[in-house]
Each structure stands twice: as C-alpha cells, then as structure tokens.
Structure 1
Amino acid sequence: MIVTVTPNPALDHTYRIDRLEVGEPNRVNAPAVRAGGKGLNVTRVLRQQGQPSHAVTTAGGASGALLAADIDASGLPITLVPVGSPTRSSIAIVDLMGDATTVLNEVGSPLDEAELAALVGAVRRELASASCLVVSGSLPPATAEGFAADLVDAARAASVPTIVDAMGDALLLAASAGAAVLKPNRRELAATTKTDDPLAGARLLTGRGAGLVVVSLGTEGMLAVPREGDAMHAALPLSFSGNPTGAGDAAVAALAVGLLETASTTVASGVWSREELEPMLRRAVVWSAASVLAPLAGELAPGHEALGDRVGFEVWR
C-alpha cells in the first residue's frame, strides 16, 4: 500500500478558456471542481493505474465539506483529519490557444497543535500497512519545516521508504533525514540549493543523505541523481500541450511504483545502477507527459503506454 500525505490540501477549480485576455473581462464556463493537493493527485493516479494507495489529509469549513464530498464520490481510500479552518482553494486557468496554464494557490491556514498531532497520528497508524510513504506539497503556515523529516524518521522506524516532494528547508531536512527519494522540479531545486545547475543541486541533497534525487525539467524530461552511481537523464523527443498542473504528481506516483519494484537493498543504500534507474525513469517521464494531456490533475490520458518505447536515456555529467 502506497500511503500519501497532503498536509495542505486544496479545493481545485480548473477553468478552460480559449484565450486568456490579461487585464480584460473574460467569460468562462463553470470550472471543474475537485479535491486537490499533491498527495491526493498521487493517490488518484495510482488508483487509476491499479495500484493500491491510501491518502491522508485534512478538511475544514464549507470548502472542506466539498473536498470530502468529492473524495467520497470518487471512491478514494482516505483518512480525513477534521480541522477548524477552511480548506484553501486553488484556481487553474488553462489558456488553450496560448498553451499556458496560470495557477493561483491560496496559502492556507495554520493547524493548531492538536490538529497537527492528529494528522501525524493518522499517518503513523497507516504506516503499519504501508510499503511506501509519499509526503507531497506545501505546509500549512506556521508548520515546522521539519514536518516531512519527522515523517521520514517515523517511516524508517517502520522499515518504509519515503518519497518527499517539497522545497526549501523542508526539502533540505528531508534529505538529512535520509529520504529514499526527493522529487523537486528545476525551479524548486534552484531555490533550495541556490544553484541553477540541477546536477550540482541534486548532488548537494544526496550529500546530505537522500538516496535518490529526481528533478523534473519540464519539456526537457527528468534527471535522476543517486547517492552512488551515474546521474541519468530521460526524455521524450516530443512536446505536449495541455495542463501541466499535476505532471509532477504523476511522476511521484510512478517513482513510488518504481520503489516497490526495486530491491530494498538498493533503495536503502542509494546505490543505483542504470538497469535499475531506467524502468523507473521511463514510467515517470511517460506518466508525467500523460498527465499534461489529461484535462484534470490526478489523471493520465489513455494510450500513454505507447510512449514508453520513445523515451531516450543518457548519462548526465
């Protein structure tokens, strides 16, 4: 069972518009509204692909009731921790002609001490049946940056590998805690490590203790940098138009499946061979592209399996 944690979920509103006129009135159809947040998107993708997954997140206020109702309607297995503050909202505007997506993410509200303890307690209970833990997304305001690192420690005590998708001090602390995989994108990695060189930034994180760092490079594919072994770059010789909002979450879902298919000694040591990295990277690149082609985050477009043979690999030096 792959357990995902979304500490700061959102009610996602996705508008699709032929052409966004910035600074002008725009008439739009009603948005697609669904429960969102990185970990929830990961669980949606996993379930769509027939992989068992259980999500843990919070919900509060009227927006939280809508989030809970959507989750219930979708049939996602979930543990919902009730909180006092309303669940935040996220607005994605997909400009079809301009081939661009603009996202407005509310910051969210702090969790009080009891609510945060309840969230951590729910995760600890799920670790008893977990084969992998995924901690994804932003933290509620005022939450300690060590939140993900603390969960990495708890998972290690239960012999469960962890994937962390975060940035800033949260990412650095997760690396120091020995997360099996870190999955920043290029922008997040640069902001965290203060270097624009993705290989150098990833090496900084593996030097702190991460087993493997996989960096999303947008249209340039993905870079996988293990603690020991060659850095591998994977990409499709194609570009895709659509909504990239959940592409990174689809990649995380693929990495979680890859961890389950990889020898536990490799995951624990961070010593990866090319033969072990390639199948995991191939799936991550394909699922990420398939997410861009799907209308909503947390979904993969049908027929994406055919893209697997077109993924190219090279050692990145």
Structure 2
Amino acid sequence: MIVTVTLNPAIDISYRVNNFKINKGHRVENGIKTAGGKGLNVSRVLKQLGENPLCLGFLGGQNGEWIKRHIGNEGLEESFTQIREETRTCLAFLDEENSTQTELMEKGPMVAEEDINNFSEKYKHLLEEATMVIASGSLPAGLSVDFYREIAEKAKESNVPFILDTSGISLELAIEGKPFLIKPNKDEICQFAKRSDLSFQEMIDVAREICNKGVDYVLISLGADGAVFVGSDTTLRAEIPVISVVNPVGSGDSMVAGMAFALHNHYDIEECLKWACACGISNALQETTGKIDPELVGDLLTKIKVTPL
C-alpha cells in the first residue's frame, strides 16, 4: 500500500483572467474548484496509473468536509486527522494572454498538539503495512519545521521507502532523516545551496552532496529542460520533447507520482526516470491539475531520451 501525506491541503480555486493587472477589477467566469495539495495531486495520478493510495494529513471545518467528499467522489481512500481550525483556501489567476500565473496561498490552520499525536499514532500503525510513503508540500502552523525529518526517520526504521517533495528549511532538516528520494526543482536546489543560480554541473554536485548525507536519490525537475536524476553511483539526464503547455500546475506532483509508480513496480532506474517525466508532461497538457492521460504517457515514454552522465 502506498501512503501519501498532505499535511496542509487546500481548496484550490483557479480563475482565467486575460491581461491580469494589479489594482484593477476583473470580471471572470466561475472559478474551477478542486481539492488541492501536492500530496492529493500525487494520489490522483497514482490512481490513474492503477494504484490505490491512502491519503493522510489534516483537515478541518467545512472546507475539510468539502475536500473529503470531493476526493471520495474521485475514488481516493483517505484517513485524514480531523482538526479544529478551517482548512485553507488558495487562489490562482491564470493569464493566458501574458503567460503568467499569480497565486495567493493562505498559510493554513493551526494544528493542535493532540491532533499531531493522533496523526503520529495513525502513521506509526500504517507503516506496518505501507510499502511506500510519499510526503509533499508545506507544513501547517503547529508542526515543527523538522516534522518531515521525524516521519522520514520513522519510515526508515520500518524499512519503508520515503519520497519527499518540499522546500526550504523543511527540506534541509528532512535530509537529516535520510529519505529514500527527494524531488526539488531548480529553484529549490538553488535555495538549498544558498545560491541565486546553479549551472547544470553544479546542480549535480549539490545533489551528490545530498546523497552523501544518506539520501538514496535526488530527482531535480528542470521544466522544459527535462530532469536530472542523481544517486550515489548513478547520474542520469532526461531530455523531453517540446510541448505546448496547457496548465503546468501539478506537473511536479505528477513527476513524483510517475517515479513512485515505477519504483513501486520495480522498473529499472532509467525507466523510472522516463515514467516521472512522461507523467509530468502529460499533466502539463491537461486543463485539470493532477490529471494525466495514461495512453499519452505510454507514447511519451518512447520519446524521452535518458543519458547516463
């Protein structure tokens, strides 16, 4: 059983606004409302690939109830921990005319110590039957900044591969917990290295330093430039076909799902990288976040070039 962890989910509402301007009113059509959160996007894609993940995290208030109903209608199983405060709402304004996307993301609710203990107890029991854990996204208030490190360590103690997609200080501290795989993008790997920019080789060097700290693999997503995959004795580059992006939101989450799916099914490492990229591309070609076309994924697998470095 694959367990996904979304600690700070949200109701995501996206609006298409041509020629979006600050300090100006805009009339828009009704927004597209979805149950958001990076881990939920991962769960959706895994479901479309034939897996049946269990979703964990924190939900509260009417927004939390809406998310539960929504993901239930999508066929996703969940065991969220109920909290007192309201789950957050996030807004996105998509301007196709200027190729921009502006997001307003609420910080999220305060999670009480009792709720954290309830989650931790549930997580501990699920590790007895979990075959993989995937944790994604930001931390809500109330959780310590090293919470990902804590749950990564617990997974490692149970010999369960732990995949992590987060950023900032949470990522830095989580590396101490020796997760199986992390998936930063270029900005996040630069942030980790405390540099404004890194060359391709410098990104590889930073990834190798991370692997020397006990992380098995680092998958760096590079947008239109594909991806680089680094392990202690492996460095692979993935080159992807040129596409006309429809909606890039959730492509990183889809990459995580594709990689997790392939790893879970014991594909060789080059195939795993192809699956990660194919799912990320497929999501970018869909209107809806966290959605792929499995038939298109199969076609893309033949068009992605993976080169050992």
Same fold (TM over 0.5): yes
Deviation at 1:140, TM superposition (A): 0.9
| Counterpart contact for 2:48–2:294, Cα < 8 Å | no
Match of 2:283 in 1: 291
Equivalent in the alignment of 2:133: 133
SS of the aligned residue for 2:144 comes to coil
Pick from 252, 256, 268: which aligns with 1:248?
252
Aligned pairs (5 A) from 1:162-311: 162-195=162-195, 196=198, 197-229=202-234, 231-262=235-266, 276-301=268-293, 303-304=295-296, 305-311=298-304
Distance 2:290 2:123 in 1: 21
1:157-183 CA-partner distances (Å, limit 9, x unpaired): 222111011112322232222211011
Task: Give secondary structure in 2 for the equivalent of 1:119.
Answer: helix
Provide the rounded CA distance (Å) in 2 between the counterparts of 1:105 and 1:189: 22
Alpha-carbon separation, structure 2, partners of 1:93 and 1:13: 9
**1:5–1:123: 8 Å Cα contact kept in structure 2?**
no
Q: How does 1:56-71 map to 2 (within 5 A)?
A: 56-71=56-71
Deviations 1:252-309 (A, max 9, x none): 111111222338xxxxxxxxxxxx3210110111100111111222111464221111
Counterpart of 1:209, as a letter, is G
Deviation of residue 18 (structure 1)? 4.2
| Secondary structure of 2:301's aligned partner | helix
Report the TM-score, using the length of structure 2 for normalisation: 0.92
Q: Which runs of structure 2 are paired with 1:111-122 in the superposition (5 Å)?
A: 111-122=111-122
Cα distance in 1 between the residues matched to 2:31 and 2:308: 43
Give the distance between the partners of 2:239 and 2:304, measured in 1 at CA: 5
Which amino acid in the other structure matches residue 311 of structure 1?
I
The alpha carbon displacement at 1:142 in A equals 4.1
TM-score (norm 1): 0.90
Q: Deviations over 1:110-148 (max 9, x none)?
A: 211111112222222222221100011101124212211
For structure 2, the 5+ residue unaligned runs are: none
SS at match of 2:72: helix
State the one-letter code of the partner of 2:216.
Answer: G
Separation (CA, whole Å) in 2 of partners of 1:157 and 1:64: 31
Give distance in 2, aligned partners of 1:97 and 1:155: 45
CA RMSD of aligned residues (A): 1.8
Q: For residues 293 and 101 of structure 1, what CA distance do their matches in structure 2 show?
A: 16
The answer for unaligned runs of 5 or more in structure 1 is 264-275
Separation in 2, partners of 1:17, 1:290: 24
Alpha-carbon deviation of 1:232? Answer: 0.9
Contact kept, 8 Å, 1:99 with 1:241, in 2: the verdict is no
Query: Which amino acid in the other structure matches residue 229 of structure 2?
Result: A
Q: Secondary structure at the match of 2:302?
A: helix
SS of structure 2 residue aligned to 1:294: coil
Shift of 1:61: 1.7
- Look up the equivalent residue of 2:246 and give its one-letter code: G
1:9 counterpart residue number: 9
Contact 1:101–1:243 (8 Å) recurs in 2: no
* Count, aligned residues: 303
Q: Classify the secondary structure of the residue corresponding to 2:228.
A: strand
User: Structure 2 CA distance, aligned partners of 1:66 and 1:39?
Assistant: 17
